[in-house]
Amino acid sequence: MNNDKIGSYSFVAEPFHCDFSGRLTLGVLGNHLLNCAGFHATDRGFGIATLNESNYTWVLSRLAIELTDLPRQYQPFTVETWVENVYRLFTDRNFALKDREGRTLGYARSVWAMINLDTRKPADLLALHGGSITDYVCDAPCPIEKPSRIKVSTTEPQATLQAKYSDIDINGHFNSIRYIEHILDLFPLEAFRERRIRRFEMAYVAESYYGDTLQLFADPEEADGTVSIEVRKPEGEVACRSKVVWENK
Residues binding a copy of itself (CB under 8 A): 14-22, 25, 27, 31, 34-35, 38, 48-49, 73-74, 164-172, 175-177, 181-182, 184-185, 187-189, 192, 210-211
Written as one string, the DSSP assignment of 226-242 is EEEEEEE-TTS-EEEEE
> In the complex with a copy of itself, which residue's Cβ is closer, 142 or 174?
174
* CA count, 13 A, side-chain hemisphere, 25: 19
> In the complex with a copy of itself, which residue's Cβ is closer, 1 or 170?
170
**Minimum distance between the CB of residue 173 and a copy of itself, rounded to whole angstroms?**
9
* Alpha carbons 37 and 113: distance in angstroms, whole number: 13
> In the complex with a copy of itself, which residue's Cβ is closer, 92 or 167?
167
* Alpha carbons 63 and 41: distance in angstroms, whole number: 17
**Minimum distance between the CB of residue 149 and a copy of itself, rounded to whole angstroms?**
26
**Minimum distance between the CB of residue 127 and a copy of itself, rounded to whole angstroms?**
25
**Minimum distance between the CB of residue 131 and a copy of itself, rounded to whole angstroms?**
26
Amino acid at 197: I
Written as one string, the DSSP assignment of 141-154 is ---SPPP-------
